[in-house]
Chains A and B, each alone.
Chain A
Amino acid sequence: ILNVEQSPQSLHVQEGDSTNFTCSFPSSNFYALHWYRWETAKSPEALFVMTLNGDEKKKGRISATLNTKEGYSYLYIKGSQPEDSATYLCAFSNSNSGYALNFGKGTSLLVTP
């Protein structure tokens, strides 16, 4: 089992605020880092897969960065909207974990108008 830590555990922001969360993972034998968006009563939805140190990915107002040497990734949301309210999961795999992903416990984001 590979330990993946996400912080903060929960976050409450006002509409229009920008926010960011952190995912920390073991840096040895890195293979890939995934971000998922998970709305209540739905299934997790893939946002990004990142594989290279220094990778940056962007989808609309959401972006992510990756540092494989120090073992962390940041997810940024610019100008949060109420529809961004969800739990954001990161998941990590290394070259020893086969096809399994190790999930963090998620950051729960609430955006209020």
Chain B
Amino acid sequence: DAGITQSPRHKVTETGTPVTLRCHQTENHRYMYWYRQDPGHGLRLIHYSYGVKDTDKGEVSDGYSVSRSKTEDFLLTLESATSSQTSVYFCAITGGQGYNEQFFGPGTRLTVL
């Protein structure tokens, strides 16, 4: 258990509304990631963070922003949700075993109507 929680676990929202997903970790890991999982696409990286206030874009960052004001929290924001952002969102951290091994949170299922 890498001490990763995500909130909310499920959310239904309407197109055009802002949405923020939270990833919280308890073990002071430096690297944190947001992925989305869609059928036929596997896991795709949205954004990642390599420290407080240090973030970078991943493969599918359009329409998403992130913030990391504390080591333990990594927030993913959809400024104006669209139906194409309906997905399962996973947060991950890089653990202490080396070689970039990542450990995943339980996921957030987001539905945009």
Which chain A residues border B40 with CB–CB below 8 Å? 105
Is B62 interfacial (CB 8 A cutoff)? no
What are the interface flags for B26-65 relative to A under an 8 Å C-beta threshold, 1 for contact and 0 otherwise? Answer: 0000010101000011111100101000000011000000
B73-113 residues with Cβ-Cβ distance < 8 A to A are 90, 94, 97-107
27 contacts between A and B (CB under 8 A): A1-B59, A31-B99, A31-B100, A32-B99, A32-B100, A34-B100, A42-B106, A43-B90, A43-B105, A44-B43, A44-B90, A45-B104, A46-B102, A46-B103, A49-B98, A93-B100, A98-B50, A99-B100, A100-B48, A100-B58, A101-B45, A101-B100, A103-B43, A103-B44, A105-B40, A105-B41, A105-B42
Residue on A nearest B43 in the bound complex, by CB: A103
The complex places the Cα of A45 from the Cα of B105 at a distance, in Å, of 10
Number of interface residues of B (CB under 8 A): 26
Once A and B bind, how many residue pairs between them come within 8 Å at the CB atom?
Answer: 55
Interface majority SS (helix, strand, loop, mixed), chain A: loop
Is A63 interfacial (CB 8 A cutoff)? no
The complex places the Cα of A103 from the Cα of B100 at a distance, in Å, of 13
B10-26 residues with Cβ-Cβ distance < 8 A to A are none
Report yes or no: A46 in contact with B48, Cβ–Cβ below 8 A: no
Of the candidates B42, B98, B101, B104, which one forms a contact with A104 in the assembled complex, judged by CB atoms under 8 Å apart? B42
Report yes or no: B101 in contact with A34, Cβ–Cβ below 8 A: yes
Closest 6 CB pairs of A and B: A105-B42, A43-B104, A32-B99, A103-B43, A99-B31, A49-B99
Which chain B residues border A91 with CB–CB below 8 Å? 102
